[in-house]
Amino acid sequence: MSKATIIPFGPQHPVLPEPLHLDLVVQDETVVDCIPQIGFVHRGLEKLVETRDYNQFIYIAERICGICAMGHSLGYAETVESLMGVEVPKRAEYLRVIWHELSRVHSHLLWLGLAADAFGFESMFMHCWRLRERVLDLFEKTTGGRVILSVVKVGGVVRDIDATQMAEIVSVLDGLKDEYTQIMNTLLTDTSVKNRTVGVGYLSAEDATALSMVGPFARASNLAYDVRSFGRGAYGDLSEFAPITDTAGDCFARVKVRCLEVLQSIEIIKELAAKMPAGDIAVDVKGAPADGAQASNVLEQPRGECYYYARGNGSKNLERMRMRTPTSQNLAGMTVALKGCDLADVNMIILTIDPCISCTER
Amino acid sequence: MGSFKLGGMTFGSLFKKPETVLYPFETKPAPAGLKGHVENEVSQCILCGICQKSCPADAIVVEKKERTWSIDPFRCVQCGTCVRLCPKKCLTMEPSYTPIATTKTCRVLQVPDPKAGVTES
Ligand code: SF4
Ligand code: SF4
């Protein structure tokens, strides 16, 4: 065996739009170790909580990540609401979950497009992004924004979705589902995709548990952990919810889990749209979080569980706001999955983890 | 091969209306409620300053003495807080976006004084 060499990967790399740097320790063509390094897009967003009041910070929380913008504003609002003991109206909970699940559909479609592009499957990339565009159009019509939605506020939501718009969402999703199923079936049965993903980047269920992996990455290693199954908010009203898991733990399993989650999200939205209760969409929130009050919260983002912590100091500004994003958890598992792989498979493995570095660094 | 399985969908796209528009010759119509830019109906404004205090981006400046209300459209993040909280409902969110510019400038609006108006007439 030849001498070990270190090959730098990223922070600028064609397959990865995110600034992640890896030092790959390579022997022959095999990766024997990998040392990740982040810190290229740190923006100090958590610190800004000291300069903006708790209502204003929601727009900063939203900007932690462009893809999970809805999720971060929702997670932050829920944390502050539990800090202040605010009860959100049922209709607002439903609307929040509908938008959140729509953003999961758009996030997974975006990822699927990028993954297809990395396989060299250019036409599928186009089709995935074409379908994703429909979800963005729905956002534009219902919230006024395509990516940064600014619809969640502490105490509820700022916009309602009326019956006509709701019917439009359902019909657009029905159309999308038909086309998406064709794309998905193609991807999951394609031999060239299988050649590149089956058995590549394996992570065992034991490792996934020991390293506290979250999201589709963990579920593909047969760890049935999904925050949505706790049944909080509108998720509690779903007739059934079971996390989508796979036993294989390889890249193909991760592709499959994400693919199926899109269909699951569409079903969730349709069920909630049918069950939508009438009523207010927000309650007035007055005052400030008490001095020393603490609250924590978890939320299932498209990439996995995100943890939020907030502490009040009696003023309108929070004392501390902390977020632990899914990718910062999953990077540990990624280094394990990379060990022993072929150098040519590195980009595939990283992509199937769907890392979001701007989330991780905040 | 997968590319041939997807071929049907791709081939069908040849005969469909394009999903994209021929920008910049064509633009998509803005849906109602699109968050473009903030407008102020200054005749209603009472210069209370609530919009300035609530703005997370410090985009609005209200000068009571000079009777001006100004907004920096390049700071505004279109969150809609000011529109929601304005007690006189004189702020609106209009669908058109702020046009591109070579310099970042504030838009300063002179707020007419209702009392001055009465004495004048
Ligand atoms: S909140 Fe409304 S009334 Fe008050 S200063 Fe702003 S625009 Fe004028
Ligand atoms: S929309 Fe938001 S950012 Fe823009 S001026 Fe109003 S409060 Fe400020």
- Of the candidates A55, A123, A191, which has its C-beta nearest B6's C-beta? A123
Choosing from B70, B79, B97, B108 the residue with most ligand 2 atoms within 8 A of its CB, the one to mutate for a pocket test is B79
Give residue A54 CA to ligand 1 midpoint distance, Å: 21
Q: Is the pLDDT of residue A120 over 80?
A: no
Average pLDDT over chain A, rounded to whole? 86
The CA dihedral of A116, A108, A110, A182, to the nearest 10 degrees, is 50
| B 26-65 residues inside an 8 A Cβ radius of A | 31, 33-35, 54-57
Put simply, the answer to whether B2 touches A124 (Cβ < 8 Å) is: yes
Report which DSSP code applies to A49.
Answer: G
For chain A, which residues make up each domain, given as ranges?
A: 39-329
Q: pTM for this one?
A: 0.88
For B71-88, the pLDDT digits (tens) are 888 888 888 889 988 888
What would the DSSP string read from start to end of A320-343? EEEEE-HHHHHHHHHHHHHTT-BG
Q: Name the burial class of residue B68, with classes exposed (0-12), middle (13-18) and buried (19+) by CB atoms within 10 angstroms of its CB.
A: middle
Q: What is the mean pLDDT of residues B113-119?
A: 63
For a pocket test of ligand 1, which of B43, B82, B91, B113 has the largest count of ligand atoms closer than 8 A to its C-beta?
B91
CATH class of B29-114: alpha beta
Q: Judge whether residue B115 has pLDDT over 80.
A: no
The answer to whether the CB of B54 is under 6 A from ligand 1 is: no
Q: pLDDT > 90: what percent of chain B?
A: 1
Per residue in A99-113, pLDDT tens? 999 999 999 999 888
Q: What is the mean pLDDT of chain B?
A: 82
Q: Each residue of A276-301: pLDDT tens digit?
A: 888 888 888 888 888 888 888 998 88
Contact call for A133 and B33, based on CB within 8 A = no
Q: Enumerate the domain spans of chain B.
A: 29-114
Q: What is the mean pLDDT of residues A64-79?
A: 88
B71 CA closest ligand 2 atom index: 5
Q: Give me the mean pLDDT over the A167-184 stretch.
A: 89
Instruction: Report the residue from B19, B77, B81 with minimal CB separation from A130.
Output: B19
What type of residue sits at position B40?
N
Nearest beta carbon to residue B56 from set A56, A144, A193: A56
CA separation, residue A246 to residues A217, A219, A260, A327 (Å)? 10, 6, 11, 20
CATH classification (class only), A39-329:
mainly alpha
Residue-by-residue DSSP string for B56-118: TT--EEEETTTTEEEE-TTT-----HHHHH-TT--EEEESSPPPP-SS---EEEEPPPHHHHH
